[in-house]
């Protein structure tokens, strides 16, 4: 990755990750669709095979969205006591929209930070 720093200026991983851009050049797209990572950058050719965000972003998103929606649903139930079908109509769409949107942001950020910190799967040094 030292060659990357000589050819490409350093890119802020937070900016590139949240925008869904390539962590090396900051121009190419990171995602192919909503959450699927592209095989490589269309601008600089960076191979995204290193990008394995795993379940990390989803766990954070579930905690955040769950806290917000359950809190709002409890507040609504205590203050207005609507029927159950109103709760379904009110809270299922925000869970889906917020969940997908925040998962994309968190996944892009985590992949950018993986690139910036040269993160790899765990290795045991047996030397």
Tell me how far apart the alpha carbons of residues 62 and 39 are, in angstroms, rounded to a whole number. 27
Rounded to an integer, the average pLDDT of 13-24 is: 95
- Tens of pLDDT, residue by residue over 20-37, are 999 999 999 999 999 999
CA 85 to chain CA mean position, Å: 31
Task: Please report which confidence band the pLDDT of residue 50 belongs to, taking 50, 70 and 90 as the band edges.
Answer: confident
Instruction: Identify the residue with better confidence: 8 or 22.
Output: 22
- Tens of pLDDT, residue by residue over 67-97, are 999 999 999 999 999 999 999 999 999 999 9
Whether the per-residue pLDDT at 105 is higher than 50: the answer is yes
The dihedrals phi and psi of 51, each to the nearest 5 degrees, come to -80, 105
Around 86, how many Cα atoms within 13 Å sit in the side-chain half-sphere? 8
């Amino acid at each position: 990755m030292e060659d990357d720093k000589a050819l490409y200026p350093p890119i802020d991983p937070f900016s590139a990750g949240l925008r869904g851009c390539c962590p090396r050049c900051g121009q190419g797209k990171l995602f192919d669709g909503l959450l699927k990572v592209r095989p490589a950058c269309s601008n600089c050719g960076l191979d995204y095979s290193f990008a394995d965000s795993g379940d990390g972003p989803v766990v954070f998103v579930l905690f955040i969205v769950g806290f917000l929606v359950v809190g709002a649903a409890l507040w609504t139930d205590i203050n207005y006591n609507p029927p159950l079908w109103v709760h379904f109509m009110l809270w299922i769409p925000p869970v889906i929209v917020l969940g997908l949107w925040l998962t994309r942001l968190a996944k892009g950020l985590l992949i950018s930070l993986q690139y910036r910190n040269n993160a790899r799967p765990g290795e045991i040094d047996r030397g």
